[in-house]
Structures are given as C-alpha cells and as structure tokens.
Amino acid sequence: ITVYQAEEDLEARERVWAAIMQPAGLTNAMWGFVSCIRPRPVMIVAPAGLHVALRGPLKPLDLLPWESIEAVLPQPVADDGSLLRSLTIVFHPTAGRPDLPHDPWGARWTGSRILRVLSSDWSVRAEVVSVVSNHYLTHMAEQVEVSNSV
C-alpha cells in the first residue's frame, strides 16, 4: 500500500516565509535578467578622466579627473593570503583626494592617495585599462607643458 497526502497544509510561519521568499526570488531573477541584457559598466576611460563605480551597483559612476591622477598601474592586492588582480590609481599629493567614499564598493584604499580597484571579474584586463589610462595621462601632461611654455 502506498499512501499520499492529498493536500499539504502550511503552517502560519511557513506562509510568512513563502510570502517573503517569493518576491525576493522574483526580484533576484529579474535583476539577473536585466543585468544579462544590459550590463552596467564598472569603469569607463574617457577624455575627462576615469569614471569608476565606487558607491554601489545602483549609484552613478564617480569621475576621477586626469588632473588629480598621478599614475594608473595594474598591481595585485593581497587578500587573505591570495593575490587578487587590481588596478591601482595613485592620486597627486598636491591635488588632494577627490570626494570619494571611505569604504568604496569593489575597491579599497591603501593610504590616503592610493585606491586599488579590484579587477578580477572585469571583461577587460587591468593591464589594458592601465595602458589606455596612461596614454591619456601622457597626453594631458603634454598639453600642460605646451600651455605653460606659451
């Protein structure tokens, strides 16, 4: 003989959990679907400077103007005994640190002038971003030298 229960009765606490988990699961599924169709950039290298997502996935990108940046280097950062790929942004000592969060999303401060943006899951390697960024930095330095000599 095999006996089945015709209808499963949910207790009150199970109904509460179901009411919480269903919208949460639906929200996560929609978020994943939208992210697959329209991915959000975490960094943009532009003529005005570096646009970096430092405040979270739903906040606008922060602009780091080239005038405030001294160097952009691909360097690993130590994390619990392992090395993670990162893009190191060194700010000019005279320019001062831009208005950036003390605990940035996807990055960490090393001292007052060095910001390390974790790049392990980027679609482009940090070395490529560094080369393009340093091209802009060199171009900006040449413009400053020409304008100062005129």
- What band does 26 get if pLDDT is binned at 50, 70 and 90? very high
Question: From CA 90, how far away is CA 97, in angstroms rounded?
Answer: 10
Does residue 137 register a pLDDT over 80? yes
- The per-residue pLDDT for range 48-107, each reduced to its tens digit, is 899 999 998 889 999 999 889 999 999 998 888 889 899 999 998 887 667 889 999 989
Residue 101 has φ and ψ, to the nearest 5°, of -65, 150
Q: What is the pTM of this model?
A: 0.72
Helices (H), the chain: 12-37, 126-149
Question: From CA 86, how far away is CA 122, in angstroms rounded?
Answer: 10
- At 8, list the tokens: 């499963």
More confident residue, 91 or 8: 91
- The per-residue pLDDT for range 104-118, each reduced to its tens digit, is 998 999 888 899 999
